[in-house]
């Protein structure tokens, strides 16, 4: 590992600032185990994209993200250009430190620091798929970005908006479940026209539509139990026209993987998703809320080598 050019992208604000407090310990242990590396700390939104791109263009062979799913999303976007990976041979490592860290429930990356460093030292990389999303940002402009885990349309965006403007002092699960409960009570189901590949093409009334590469989002909601990060496909879960009573009655199924048993929940599989609506439908992209429909979402197979447990 010492012959590699290694860069750490660190979000000190992750996990309510505990990552910044923990960073000196992480840095000392990582230097002891990995050898010398460059460390760059983010100071605000978008920094991790810019810094990742910078170190890759300077020849980094391994970029290690220290933060949560939102930071990882930015680092992933830093890896990717308009025509694919900026440096295809470079690998991505992850030390999970965040409010939710849903992605590591799908891929084998340990949260404990020493074990996470063991995985990075092993350099066992698995090329994972990414989603590429084109959407309308908050200023009404067409924008695009990549995601590694899940993009959802509807309630998920409302939950993100609520979580990101309130405290996360009670941790990921409590923060997200509280925001979910409040959002359910105030949310109005949306009519969304959904097209998946050249097959499904319908207008659906739904609470939320999940376009999944990973299986979990929202602090542990198991919304796509059959999703695989390297099968070249999205697994789309449509949470349909449930009554408010049915939503609350079946809320546990959102967390125990039994959501697909519900009659008003349907699943689709495909490589391209196109969605639009006459209503305002917010997006949830790896726990962030960048904009709204309309959106076109394409799978990018095997786009990024992610270091995982063997």
| pLDDT of the chain, 310 residues: tens digit per residue | 447 899 999 999 998 889 999 999 999 999 999 999 999 999 999 999 999 999 999 999 999 999 999 999 999 999 999 888 999 999 999 999 977 789 999 999 999 999 999 999 999 999 999 999 999 999 999 999 999 999 999 988 887 777 766 655 555 556 667 777 887 888 899 999 999 999 999 999 999 999 999 999 988 889 999 999 999 999 999 999 999 999 989 989 988 989 999 999 999 999 999 999 999 999 999 988 999 999 999 999 999 999 999 8
Of residues 202, 229, 209, the one with CA closest to residue 299: 229
Contact indicator for 16, 169 with CB cutoff of 8 Å: yes
Q: The whole model's pTM is what?
A: 0.92
Burial label for 36, CB within 10 Å (0-12, 13-18, 19+), is exposed
Instruction: List Cβ neighbours of 231 (8 Å cut-off, separation of 6 or more).
Output: 129
Give Cα separations from 19 to 12, 96, 110 (angstroms).
Answer: 5, 10, 16
What is the Cα–Cα distance from 216 to 229, expressed in whole angstroms?
12
Tokens 């810019």 locate to 50
Report all structural domains of the chain as residue ranges with CATH numbers, in order of start.
Answer: 6-123 (3.40.50.10330), 131-302 (2.60.200.40)
């Amino acid at each position: 590992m010492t012959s590699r050019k290694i860069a750490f992208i660190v979000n000190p604000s992750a996990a309510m600032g505990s990552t910044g407090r923990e960073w000196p310990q992480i840095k000392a242990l990582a230097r002891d185990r990995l050898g010398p590396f460059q460390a760059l700390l983010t100071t605000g939104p978008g920094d991790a994209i810019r810094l990742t791109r910078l170190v890759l263009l300077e020849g980094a062979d391994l970029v290690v993200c220290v933060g949560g799913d939102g930071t990882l999303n930015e680092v992933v976007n830093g890896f990717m250009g308009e025509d694919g990976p900026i440096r295809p041979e470079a690998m991505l490592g992850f030390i999970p430190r965040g409010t939710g860290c849903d992605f590591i429930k799908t891929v084998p990356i340990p949260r404990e620091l020493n074990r996470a460093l063991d995985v990075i030292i092993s350099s066992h990389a698995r090329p994972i798929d990414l989603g590429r999303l084109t959407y309308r940002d908050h200023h009404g402009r067409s924008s695009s970005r990549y995601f590694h885990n899940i993009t959802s349309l509807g309630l998920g965006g409302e939950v993100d908006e609520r979580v990101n403007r309130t405290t996360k002092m009670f941790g990921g699960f409590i923060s997200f479940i509280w925001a979910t409960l409040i959002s359910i009570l105030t949310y109005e189901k949306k009519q969304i026209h959904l097209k998946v590949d050249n097959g499904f093409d319908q207008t659906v009334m739904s609470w939320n539509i999940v376009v999944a590469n990973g299986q979990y989002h929202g602090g542990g909601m198991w919304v796509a139990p059959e999703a695989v990060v390297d099968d070249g496909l999205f697994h789309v879960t449509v949470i349909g026209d449930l009554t408010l009573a049915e939503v609350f009655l079946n809320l546990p199924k959102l967390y125990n993987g039994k959501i697909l048993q519900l009659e008003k929940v349907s699943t689709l599989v495909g490589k391209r998703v196109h969605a639009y609506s006459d209503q305002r439908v917010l997006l949830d992209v790896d726990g962030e809320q960048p904009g709204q429909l309309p959106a076109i979402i394409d799978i990018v197979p095997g786009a990024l080598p992610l270091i995982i447990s063997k």
